[in-house]
Amino acid sequence: MQSLAAPRSRSQREAARRGGHSRKAPVIAGIAAAALVVVVGLAFVISRVFGGGAGQDTLPNQGEQVEVVIDDGSGANAVAAKLKDAGVIANTDDFITQARKQKADSQLKSGAYVFTVGQDIDSIISQLISGPNSTSGRLTVPEGLTVPQTARLVSEALSVSGDDFIAQAKASNYVADYPFLANAADDSLEGFLCPKTYDFSGRSDVTADAVIRAMLDQYNADVASLDFASGEALIADRYGITMSDYDVIKLASIVEREAVTDGQRPKVASVFFNRLKAGMALQSDATMMYVTGGEVTADDLKTESPYNTYLNAGLTPTPICTPSVDSIKAVLSPDDTDYLYFYITQTDEWFSSTYDEHLQAIEENR
């Protein structure tokens, strides 16, 4: 409910990556050239046999970057085989000899790496000792996303199908291990796929299930420390409203989509609680955006949907996104105000106690 007449998307609210040669002394020149060939050839043989030098023969695709995943527990032999299979090195013997010469066999770290085809062996070993340098396998999930939006990010960052992710994202698949899902409506994980940066690099078991479990584990870690009981008691005392933990997440998801700054969240929460106490509809554009997937028109606000908080009193059936911890905290500890309306732009905010004040704020600041 940014305003009754000015629905807007979160993207509008948030202003959120390479000579000449001589003919003299031909016999002497010929002898010198032959001697040079012998010396170079001998040096090459010595290098190949004794591992002197860490350069490589020219390889196909020389200079191209290749990602290589090194498995846990890999020694020099296994790593060399991986690098050769990926086309990074010409042969395994040079790598193994150099790694052992540097006593690096037990120091090579697993994970995802980006190497250059034909890269100097010493630098490859140095990188393997330092650790993974690839960002592949990292998944960043921001606050305020829906399950389908999260699935899209997962499919882009990891080798997991978005459709598989959505099919797996059912509360019934996880409630036995995560009791906080017991009251989740519509078998939905909406609201519980915790925002964070997850690192799956070097793992061969990245499935939809593994990603979802990592998110639920993080939700449990981030939210378990919050005092739901005290917050729900405050809400009951101040507003006469009984809220379950799931209700808190539902309202926090709406606050997440309506507020722009952290400082606005407790005030936005207070507006919604005041409206619930007064028997008023929440009138949040964000809840209908969950249905439309984008902008909301005046006609959309007349459309029957359990997520239309203009036509229906109370909360939505499920959360409309995954809220931030700050939004959950705002619902558990809202500001004590008499506000019933708010109008929030990219740069400013107006909170009003009456509809006339609200209309005036819109008229003067749109």
**Domain tally, the chain:** 3
Question: pLDDT tens digits for 148-204?
Answer: 999 999 998 888 999 999 999 999 999 999 999 999 999 999 999 999 999 888 777
**CA-CA distance, 273 to 27, in Å (whole number)?**
101
Mark whether 123 and 155 lie in a shared domain: no
**CA-CA distance, 325 to 320, in Å (whole number)?**
15
Number of Cβ within 10 Å of residue 66's Cβ equals: 15
Mark whether 335 and 279 lie in a shared domain: yes
Mark whether 353 and 239 lie in a shared domain: yes
Last residue of a domain, one of 134, 152, 169: 134
Last residue of a domain, one of 169, 197, 223: 223
Mark whether 156 and 286 lie in a shared domain: no
Question: pLDDT tens digits for 6-33?
Answer: 333 333 333 332 233 333 333 333 333 3
Structure tokens at 338: 């008499």
Mark whether 304 and 337 lie in a shared domain: yes
Residue 65: per-residue pLDDT:
80
With respect to residue 271, please indicate whether it lies within any of the assigned structural domains: yes
In which band, very low, low, confident or very high, does the pLDDT at 56 lie, cut at 50, 70 and 90? Answer: low
Residue 159: per-residue pLDDT:
80
With respect to residue 248, please indicate whether it lies within any of the assigned structural domains: yes
Burial of 363 (C-beta count, 10 Å sphere; 0-12/13-18/19+): exposed
Residue 21: per-residue pLDDT:
35
User: Is residue 2 predicted with pLDDT exceeding 90?
Assistant: no
For the chain, give the percent of residues with pLDDT over 90: 62
* CB 7 within 8 Å of CB 295: yes
Last residue of a domain, one of 109, 134, 159: 134
Residue 113: per-residue pLDDT:
82
**CA-CA distance, 91 to 209, in Å (whole number)?**
38
Mark whether 203 and 278 lie in a shared domain: no
Mark whether 235 and 215 lie in a shared domain: no
**CA-CA distance, 125 to 104, in Å (whole number)?**
8
Mark whether 236 and 284 lie in a shared domain: yes
* Partners of 162 in beta bridges: none
Mark whether 246 and 348 lie in a shared domain: yes
Nearest to 154 by CA among 83, 211, 94: 211
**CA-CA distance, 31 to 109, in Å (whole number)?**
50
Which carries the bigger pLDDT value, residue 277 or residue 102? Answer: 277
Average of per-residue pLDDT across 62-83? 85
Residue 322: per-residue pLDDT:
97
Domain that holds residue 215: 138-223
Q: Alpha-carbon dihedral of residues 197, 230, 2, 16, nearest 10 degrees?
A: -20
Residue 67: per-residue pLDDT:
79
CATH number of the domain at 129, please.
3.30.1490.480
Angle between helix 325-332 and helix 265-277 axes, rounded to 10 deg? 40
Question: pLDDT tens digits for 210-251?
Answer: 999 999 999 999 998 899 999 999 999 999 999 999 999 999
Question: pLDDT tens digits for 98-138?
Answer: 999 898 888 998 877 888 888 889 889 988 998 876 667 88
What residues contact 270, with CB distance under 8 A and at least 6 apart?
A: 334, 335, 336, 337, 339
Residue 4: per-residue pLDDT:
40
